[in-house]
Amino acid sequence: MSLISRFATVAARVARDIAEAPEVARQLRQRRAGGETPQTTRRPVEVEIDPNDVPDVADIEAAAREYEQARTEGNAASRLKRRAERILKRVPNGTHGAVTVERVESNRMVIDADAVRELFKAHGLGEVPQKQCSPSLVVTIADDIPAAPEQHAPVLAAA
């Protein structure tokens, strides 16, 4: 594909996106005005928890706040790392001022999904079997809830 045809393709895509922008902005304003927030449907997952091993409510709340703080800090760290990697990936190996940049072979191994699919197909084994990932932990902290009275037995609340 020549440079001119690539440029024309990108220009057409940009023109289409610009033409669609007012409609997207209108839809966004309507959703915001209506209080409509897109919700993803997540299936709740049942887990076996020993009722005698459930921590106190205060411990659960403290752990939830720590979890949220760690998640927030982790997201910020990931953004910083991605921003730095965008620059460093454009740098050739070598010494640049006080910094040495190298690319080394990784010890991490992953399954070649394409090769596995080809093997299954070649031997007539059908689709490659897959399984669900472990359930995601979602923690929601309500700031406006009054402090619960002290209870002697732990209370489990379903979300």
The pLDDT value recorded for residue 98 is: 94
What is the structure's pLDDT at 29? 76
Those residues of the chain that have pLDDT short of 50 are none
- As a whole number of angstroms, the distance between CA 56 and CA 66 comes to 15
pTM to 2 decimal places: 0.49
Give the list of residues 6+ apart from residue 38 with CB closer than 8 angstroms, or none.
Answer: 31
**pLDDT the model gives residue 134:** 83
- Compute CA distances 114 → 20, 122, 130, whole Å: 36, 12, 14
Find, among 154, 138, 143, the residue nearest to 50 by Cα.
154
